Chain A
Amino acid sequence: DAGVIQSPRHEVTEMGQEVTLRCKPISGHDYLFWYRQTMMRGLELLIYFNNNVPIDDSGMPEDRFSAKMPNASFSTLKIQPSEPRDSAVYFCASRFFRNTGELFFGEGSRLTVL
């Protein structure tokens, strides 16, 4: 089975530009999570969805960040406008509610904002 698929793997953009990161969770998983990883702050939970509905977005740093999940197989994380401090690796993860809590992570999207 395919794992969690993220795109793009690498993104380099200039400050002020819009960035859209994409995620396809594992088929059948009903929870989807967006995490951000930096050296300074480690792995931070940004937002998570259950059955396509955003449940908790308290980790989203600012209004510049938004996330959507229009269907069970697709989610986006958008940053508009981007800033250099947004540079990080963004991970998407999914899980099935019946399992013991194991998160399956995608390979991550490395974002560099110049």
Chain B
Amino acid sequence: QQPVQSPQAVILREGEDAVINCSSSKALYSVHWYRQKHGEAPVFLMILLKGGEQKGHEKISASFNEKKQQSSLYLTASQLSYSGTYFCGTHTLYNFNKFYFGSGTKLNVKP
């Protein structure tokens, strides 16, 4: 039930935009996004609870398409501090705590 993320890796220059996708073969009941910097713990970015929901966090936003069973994370005007690995996660219908993370997308923002 692990969600699939794409792309696996992205290299950007400062100021460029990126989109990270997260999809599942099974129904997504919520989508969480986390960022993990090298050698550190994952840090929560945002959660989308309803299909069609969109959220923003500074210049990082996300959308959730329940019908397509996918979510996208949008990073606009990227900054060096955005570098890290981004994970999406979701859970099963009847267990909000049995949480599955995607394989991650490594983002490298260069000057």
Chain A contact residues, CB within 8 Å of chain B: 31, 33, 42-43, 45, 48, 50, 55-56, 91, 100-108
**Consensus secondary structure, chain B interface:** strand
Name which residue of chain B comes closest to A49, CB basis: B97
Q: Is the CB of A31 within 8 A of B97?
A: yes
User: A55 vs B94: C-alpha distance in the bound complex, in angstroms?
Assistant: 13
B36 smallest CB distance to A (angstroms): 9
**B87-111 vs A: 1/0 string, CB under 8 Å?**
1000100011111111110000000
Q: Is the CB of B32 within 8 A of A107?
A: no
User: A33 vs B102: C-alpha distance in the bound complex, in angstroms?
Assistant: 17
Q: Is the CB of A43 within 8 A of B42?
A: yes
B71 smallest CB distance to A (angstroms): 14
**B55-77 vs A: 1/0 string, CB under 8 Å?**
00000000000000000000000
Q: Is the CB of B41 within 8 A of A91?
A: yes
Q: Would you mind naming 7 contact pairs between A and B with Cβ atoms under 8 Å apart?
A: A42-B101, A48-B97, A55-B97, A100-B47, A101-B99, A102-B44, A105-B43
User: A43 vs B101: C-alpha distance in the bound complex, in angstroms?
Assistant: 6
For B103, list chain A residues within 8 Å (CB).
42
Q: Is the CB of B96 within 8 A of A101?
A: yes
Known: A91-B41, A101-B32. 14 other contacts (CB 8 A): A42-B101, A42-B102, A42-B103, A45-B98, A55-B97, A56-B98, A100-B49, A102-B32, A102-B47, A103-B32, A103-B34, A103-B42, A103-B44, A105-B42
